[in-house]
């Protein structure tokens, strides 16, 4: 039996308390952001994503590539007869990981798979033997129909056109939390009014309200949006996009005691809907397989996606 988890803390908890012994493997790749493309092979995908994380966050590209290669090698070494247990949260971060791993399991012929759903609010540090046993006892065996749905859902996620996700949300899913994760995903598209995604809007509003440090901003956003599963790395990338050298929306003031973020005059106008962030600053970002660059997608006032050609005036 091989247990897959999304982080070291849960891995340590399982190693100490799992009712079924076996290897515990941590999947480390952040699949909720960064570039994907349905036509990229695995090597090109690794290279493109490694370059993106180095450019946007300073993470050495070789480090990202090594993680990718190590993970994929472990998957390929698993015999088709192995018993895999996936321990994942209900949030967007984990649900994208779930879809990817099930897609890869189908490709590798691995079919004995159980899913353990970790409810929101259950912290690994508080999970002793009784909690772990209860979660394990509630596990759901996944069949071929689950693997097929996960494979198709992943294809929608990495497609250039997000309307496949919109259509998917009109149907019931065999997975209890995938549709909610996709709904959250669509909120990361820029607003038709301001050009900001939902988290960027929150960051500017929080700064305007006096929340000024990175740590406090991250804490408030994750409290308000726990089902995003937003990591500090992903959040840092979002904040960085607001601090472009030309036309920044926020700026940092560093005193001797603390870091303080402030809205620029442009940031205030964008937040008020008086200026459009994309028209003034531009955008070069990825949401799954959608490259927000030229032909871009926006959220309207009720959350529906609309397509706008930003180059046509």
User: Of all helices (H) and strands (E), which one includes residue 84?
Assistant: strand 83-89
Residue 115 phi, psi dihedral angles, 5° rounding: -115, 125
Do 243 and 250 contact (CB within 8 A), yes or no?
A: yes
**What is the Cα–Cα distance from 279 to 229, expressed in whole angstroms?**
30
C-alpha pair distances (Å), 91 with each of 65, 117, 174, 176 = 25, 10, 16, 11
Average pLDDT over residues 155-171: 96
- Within the chain, all domains assigned CATH 1.10.10.10 are found at 187-309
How much is the mean pLDDT over the chain?
Answer: 92
> Tens digits of per-residue pLDDT, 259-285?
889 999 999 999 999 999 999 999 999
User: Is the pLDDT score of 307 beyond 90?
Assistant: no
Domain boundaries 187-309, corresponding CATH code: 1.10.10.10
Do 117 and 6 contact (CB within 8 A), yes or no?
A: no
> Tens digits of per-residue pLDDT, 188-236?
999 999 999 999 999 999 999 999 899 999 999 999 999 999 999 999 9
Tokens of 175: 């997975």
Tokens of 245: 């050298």
**What is the Cα–Cα distance from 98 to 6, expressed in whole angstroms?**
10
C-alpha pair distances (Å), 266 with each of 41, 191, 247, 277 = 41, 16, 7, 9
Do 191 and 273 contact (CB within 8 A), yes or no?
A: no
DSSP 253: E
> Tens digits of per-residue pLDDT, 28-45?
999 999 999 999 999 999
Q: Is the dihedral of CA 30, 175, 121, 136 positive or negative?
A: negative
Give the residue among 241, 303, 295, 234 at the shortest CA–CA distance from 96: 234
Do 150 and 99 contact (CB within 8 A), yes or no?
A: yes
**What is the Cα–Cα distance from 176 to 44, expressed in whole angstroms?**
32
- Which is more confident, 312 or 62? 62
Query: What is the pTM assigned to this prediction?
Result: 0.93
Residue 298 phi, psi dihedral angles, 5° rounding: -130, 160
Task: Tell me the pLDDT band of 295, cut-offs 50, 70 and 90.
Answer: low
Residue 298: partners with Cβ closer than 8 Å, 6 or more residues away: 189, 190, 191, 192, 195, 305, 306, 307, 308
Rounded to a whole number, what is the distance in angstroms from the first to the last CA of the chain? 58
Tokens of 134: 């209860």
Average pLDDT over residues 14-23: 82
- Which is more confident, 298 or 13? 298
Give the residue among 46, 44, 45, 64 at the shortest CA–CA distance from 54: 64
Residue 5: partners with Cβ closer than 8 Å, 6 or more residues away: 11, 14, 24, 25, 26, 27, 87, 88
What 3-state class would DSSP assign to 158? coil
**For the chain, what's the residue count?**
313
């Amino acid at each position: 039996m091989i247990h897959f988890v999304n982080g070291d803390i849960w891995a340590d908890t399982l190693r100490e308390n799992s009712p079924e012994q076996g290897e515990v493997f941590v999947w480390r790749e952040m699949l909720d952001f960064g570039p994907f493309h349905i036509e990229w092979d695995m090597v090109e995908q690794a290279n493109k994503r490694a370059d993106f994380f180095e450019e946007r966050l300073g993470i050495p590209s070789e480090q990202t590539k090594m993680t990718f290669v190590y993970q994929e090698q472990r998957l390929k070494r698993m015999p088709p007869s192995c018993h895999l247990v996936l321990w994942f949260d209900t949030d967007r971060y984990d649900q994208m990981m779930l879809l990817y791993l099930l897609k890869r399991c189908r490709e590798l012929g691995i079919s004995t798979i159980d899913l353990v759903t970790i409810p929101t609010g259950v912290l690994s540090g508080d999970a002793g033997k009784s909690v772990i046993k209860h979660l394990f006892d509630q596990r759901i065996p996944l069949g071929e129909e689950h693997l097929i749905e996960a494979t198709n859902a992943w294809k929608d996620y990495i497609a250039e056109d997000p309307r496949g996700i919109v259509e998917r949300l009109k149907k019931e899913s065999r997975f209890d939390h995938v549709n909610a994760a996709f709904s959250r995903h669509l909120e990361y598209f820029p607003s038709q009014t301001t050009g900001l995604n939902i988290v960027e809007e929150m960051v500017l509003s929080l700064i305007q309200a006096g929340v000024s440090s990175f740590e406090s901003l991250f804490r408030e956003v994750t409290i308000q949006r726990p089902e995003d599963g937003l990591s500090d790395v992903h959040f840092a990338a979002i904040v960085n996009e607001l601090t472009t050298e030309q036309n920044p929306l926020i700026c940092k003031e560093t005193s001797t005691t603390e870091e303080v973020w402030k809205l620029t005059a442009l940031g205030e106008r964008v937040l008020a809907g008086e200026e459009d962030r994309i028209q003034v600053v531009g955008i070069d970002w990825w949401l799954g397989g959608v490259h927000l660059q030229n032909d871009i997608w926006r959220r309207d006032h009720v959350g529906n996606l609309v397509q706008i050609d930003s180059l046509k005036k």
